[in-house]
Amino acid sequence: MPGGIGVIVKSIRRVAIVGGTHGNEFTGAYLIKKFEQFPDLVKRTSFETLTVLGNPKAFDAVRRYIDEDLNRCFLQRDLQDASLSSHEAMRAKTLNQILGSKGKAQMDFLLDLHSTTANMGLTLILVNRHPFNLKLAAYLSKINPLVKVYCWAQPGRENGFLNSLCELGFALEIGPIAQGVLNAACLQKMEAFIHTVLDYLEMHNQGEDLAVENTLTLHQHLSVIDYPKDAQGEIQAMIHPQLQNRDYEPLHPGDPMFLRLDGTPIFYQGESTVWPMFINEAAYYTKGIAMCLTQKQQVNF
């Protein structure tokens, strides 16, 4: 665990909020537009807040990306590889200069805004288990019990997400919402959540006691599952109706998972119960992901 349980986080001096890392996820992108127009909304007395539109070219084109997924372009080797010249590879290098460089972050805290077509409500996505992030997640979960916490961190494996540029912070997902669509309710929920995070950081800097339960319910990433496909790679089954929209609900061995085009169900064959998320995410069809499987854990910190 980075820093160890006894880590003391000094004052947060620079906070970055990034939206539009995926150009067709309008909730975060338009919040950045709003904060640029009304900067006092994210201004706090004890730290500077920088707002960044992650992928302006993809946003203008209303596309997730131009050449490749920007939120997978932040591996250290890729950031240092001068031969990588795709639009997103170059944009990642620019963001690394603005926010990083990786491993030597210029920001003390990084919040990356995303939206999903899956029924995930408000979800925090952690790329590590730093105690500061766990405590903040517990605080946010206490304020809003509907908030879910998902951890992608895998021992010994570097993360290529934008959030990996900074040890403190997380990605925020909201859904379900269609790609390239603005929804006022989603935007308001995300904005209110951002203000809660900024207020927490302000209270931390002022030394206020932010006592929370030292146990956090967390969904740890296990694996991804693709759709059943034929030899040519064509999908042969869809998400079963009994599983659709049931993100974060338990999937037991023997439960229906997919439905073939002829109406025949395919059942989950795992040996233990899992908790799926990103179920039927539209952007993941090209990635060969029908859902992510997680293990529900109680984490002490």
CA pair distance 288, 295, nearest whole angstrom:
21
Number of structural domains in the chain: 2
Domain co-membership, 200 together with 228:
no
What is the percentage of the chain residues whose pLDDT exceeds 90? Answer: 89
pLDDT value at residue 5: 41
pLDDT value at residue 9: 77
Domain co-membership, 97 together with 134:
yes
Q: Is 107 within a domain?
A: yes
pLDDT value at residue 2: 39
With cut-offs at 50, 70 and 90, classify the pLDDT of residue 7.
low
Report whether pLDDT(196) > 80.
yes
Domain co-membership, 57 together with 147:
yes
pLDDT value at residue 156: 79
Q: Is 281 within a domain?
A: yes
Buried b or exposed e, range 166-202, using 16+ CB within 10 angstroms: bbbbbbbbbbbbebeeebeebbebbbebbeebbebbb
Asked whether the whole model's pTM tops 0.85, one would answer: yes
Domain co-membership, 165 together with 241:
no
Domain co-membership, 155 together with 282:
no
Sheet holding 265-267: strands in order across? 237-239, 256-260, 265-267
Distance of CA 236 to the CA centre of its chain: 29
* Residue 213 one-letter amino acid: E
Q: What is the DSSP letter of 274?
A: B
Range of the domain at 133: 14-213
| Alpha helical stretches, state H, the chain | 26-37, 56-61, 76-79, 87-99, 131-143, 184-205
CATH number, residue 85? 3.40.630.10
How many CA within 13 A on the CB side of residue 151?
A: 21
Read off the pLDDT of each residue in 78-96 and give the average, rounded to a whole number.
Answer: 97
Domain co-membership, 173 together with 231:
no
With cut-offs at 50, 70 and 90, classify the pLDDT of residue 103.
confident
User: Of 170, 188, 213, which closes a domain?
Assistant: 213
Read off the pLDDT of each residue in 146-161 and give the average, rounded to a whole number.
Answer: 91
Domain co-membership, 206 together with 232:
no
pLDDT value at residue 131: 93
How many CA within 13 A on the CB side of residue 155?
A: 1
Domain co-membership, 88 together with 126:
yes
